[in-house]
Amino acid sequence: MALQILITNDDGILAPGLSALVRAASAFGDLHIVAPATAQSATAHSITLMQPIMCQQVELPGGMVGYSVEGRPADCVKLAITELMPVQPDLILSGINAGGNFGVNVLYSGTVAAAIEGALYKIPSIAFSLTIHEKIDFDYAQRNAQQVMEMLLANDVLDEPCVLNVNIPACEIGQPKGVKVVRQTTQAWADRFERRIDPRGRLYFWFDGEFVDGDDIEEDTDAKAVKHGYISITTLNADLTDHAHLAHLQEKLDQGT
């Protein structure tokens, strides 16, 4: 039986990045699209509890039919697996996000959360994001996402549960120089808010943070790889336990008693 592939995203079911991912994945199996009705960027791993989750079939550009869900990316994955798909997915793909999701951004990203949600069901899952400077070229992103999938499938990487976070460097850099398997940087972003006054004289803020893209990015990280024109692949884990500190904490408490 062909590989059953669930496709979702956080930019909404009509986002061009989702169409690009559909085109990239179409050679690899049967596609099932379940994605948010509206833009859900930076909604992280939230789910909808206090209201109904409206859901309807829609025809997408290119003719495929998918489920449009008035919920979060994680809602889409849960619904796809438990209700909407006729079979269990063998693989979950999320993206292609308009904007990079590396470093601490993975904690805010709905694109990445959808992939982590898949892993909670023990299904191999990949989040794809395209970093952006000035231009967005989803045909370029599609070609590169397709090559990454080919490589992963050819090397049996997707035969077991995993979360892979893939970032494709911005298209202005030219074709990626290659693929780097790297850890997630923990370097902080520069948080900044625009301070404004609305037409009725009320104070409001608009978030305008950005990654500090200096020359001192940590080596062997996702941020460094994409900055230098490589596709980054990072393995993620839903377990946020700090294993090193766990032992340290126990040791301290043992000493205290």
Please, which residue, 108 or 121, has the CB nearer to Mn ion? 108
Please, which residue, 97 or 187, has the CB nearer to Mn ion? 97
The distance between the two most distant Cα atoms of the chain, rounded to a whole number of Å, is: 67
Q: Which stretch binds Mn ion (CB under 5 A): 26-34, 97-105, 141-149, 192-200?
A: 97-105
Count the helix, strand and coil residues of the chain and give each as a percent rounded to the nearest 5.
Answer: 30, 25, 40
**What are residue 161's phi and psi, to 5 degrees?**
-60, 135
Q: Smallest distance from the beta carbon of 228 to Mn ion, in angstroms?
A: 23
Angstrom distance (rounded) from CA 36 to CA 208: 24
Kindly state the tokens that stand for 2: 């062909």
Q: Smallest distance from the beta carbon of 40 to Mn ion, in angstroms?
A: 7
Q: Are 179 and 128 in contact (CB under 8 A)?
A: no
- Bridge partners of 94, per DSSP, are 8, 127
Question: Does 18 participate in binding Mn ion (rule CB under 5 A)?
Answer: no
Kindly state the tokens that stand for 13: 């079911």
Q: Smallest distance from the beta carbon of 113 to Mn ion, in angstroms?
A: 11
Element (H, E) at 146: helix 138-154
Angstrom distance (rounded) from CA 18 to CA 220: 29
- Bridge partners of 165, per DSSP, are 127, 234
Question: Does 131 participate in binding Mn ion (rule CB under 5 A)?
Answer: no
Please, which residue, 108 or 228, has the CB nearer to Mn ion? 108
Question: Does 97 participate in binding Mn ion (rule CB under 5 A)?
Answer: yes
Please, which residue, 158 or 223, has the CB nearer to Mn ion? 223
**Residue of the chain from 8, 19, 41, 144 that contacts Mn ion (CB under 5 A):** 41
Q: Which stretch binds Mn ion (CB under 5 A): 50-58, 68-76, 90-98, 166-174?
A: 90-98
**Residue of the chain from 4, 5, 6, 10 that contacts Mn ion (CB under 5 A):** 10
Contacts to Mn ion by CB under 5 A: 10-11, 41, 97
